[in-house]
């Protein structure tokens, strides 16, 4: 095994829930507020460790707002012509 291949990962997700993970490819990180969030990764193996930090790497957009219009009910009899 090469001394450059990580065997452990420590992720930190600023503002995320959960805010950390030791999985190689974490999923399910949630953000309750829109904004930009940084991510840190420490990758290591028995030979050592390296860290990378990406500020504002994750961009969370505001939740969309639903817009509902009412539809006016139109009653017609058979044979009526509607315009």
Beta bridge partner(s), residue 54: 39
Q: Terminal CA-to-CA distance of the chain, rounded, Å?
A: 77
Domain that holds residue 50: 1-83
Our count of domains for the chain comes to 1
Sheet with 8-13: strands ordered across: 20-21, 8-13, 35-45, 48-60
Structure token digits, residue 11: 């992720």
| pLDDT score recorded for residue 7 | 97
Provide the whole-model pTM.
Answer: 0.73
Nearest to 14 by CA among 46, 58, 67, 49: 58
Reported as a single tens digit per residue, the pLDDT across 25-54 is 999 999 999 999 999 999 999 999 999 999
pLDDT over threshold 80, residue 73: no
CATH code of 16's domain = 2.60.40
* Structure confidence at residue 1 as a pLDDT band (50, 70, 90): very low
> Is pLDDT of 59 > 90?
yes
């Amino acid at each position: 095994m090469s001394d450059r291949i990580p065997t452990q990962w420590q992720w930190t997700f600023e503002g995320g829930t959960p805010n950390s993970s030791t999985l190689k490819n974490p999923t399910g990180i949630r953000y309750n507020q829109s904004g930009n969030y940084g991510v840190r990764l420490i990758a290591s193996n028995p030979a050592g460790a390296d860290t990378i930090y990406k500020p504002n790497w994750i961009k969370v957009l505001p939740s969309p707002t639903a817009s509902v219009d009412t539809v006016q009910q139109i009653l017609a009899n058979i044979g009526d012509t509607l315009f």
